[in-house]
Amino acid sequence: MSCASQAIAPAGTLVTTGIPSDPFAGQIGWDEEKFADRVTVSLRDEDAARSGFDRCIGKVLQMHIFDPRADKPTVVSLPGGKSVIELDMLVAISVYLDIRYVTSLERVSVLEHSPGESFICCLSGCQENVIDGYYRIKIQRLFNDIIIDYAKVQSLTSGLMRLIVGRDKYRSRNHASAKKTTALLASYVTDELSVDPQ
């Protein structure tokens, strides 16, 4: 591999003279892990379920997906004064990591919405990111039940961040974060959140 090839390729990208025998050898960071949670909210009837579904999706489209009541809340910012996400939009996620806020860029790579019925959104990490991975939110209405599936599939790429945070703390925080997000989304369905996020 030439120095010029190494200089133009992002960290972790393999540059070889032929097809690599191990195409995953360039992966930086820990192996990707999935931090997920699933919650089902049952409402009194289908009309209530449709209303709860639409209320929840409205909050997700505004990217109110992290609990604003946290001491150092995670905040999602949309570009150019936009109030809801759009397919292919770049968004910024600012998360507090021990001593500072770290802002990473994500791309809305999937956005499909059938009002009152189903919704899926995926935010994929860009190169300007502390993690390599994505967030996925899938919400379905089945009769009077709302099923909320949330997953963060990611790897912490920064060697320094891995040393600061540590694997056990990283895992426990991400598992807790997934549960907090599904609880927040469920509260939108039932209209129980008393504080308007962000």
Q: For residue 125, list its beta bridge partners.
A: 106
- Residue 195 has a pLDDT of 40
pLDDT tens for each residue of 78-131: 999 999 999 999 999 998 877 888 898 999 999 999 999 999 999 998 877 666
Assign domain 31-190 one CATH number from 3.40.140.10, 3.60.15.10, 3.40.640.10, 3.30.530.20.
Answer: 3.30.530.20
pLDDT tens for each residue of 2-13: 555 555 666 666
Would you place residue 29 in the very low, low, confident or very high pLDDT band (cuts 50, 70, 90)? low
Domain with CATH 3.30.530.20 in the chain: 31-190
Encoded amino acid at 80, one letter? G
Would you place residue 198 in the very low, low, confident or very high pLDDT band (cuts 50, 70, 90)? very low
Burial class (CB in 10 A: 0-12, 13-18, 19+), 87: exposed
Residues 6 or more apart from 172 whose CB is under 8 A from it?
none
- Residue 194 has a pLDDT of 38
- Residue 99 has a pLDDT of 80
Look at the alpha carbons of 124, 91, 177, 150 in this order and tell me if their dihedral is positive or negative.
negative
Q: Which of 32-36, 79-83, 166-170 has the lowest mean pLDDT?
A: 166-170
Is the pLDDT confidence value at 188 over 80?
yes
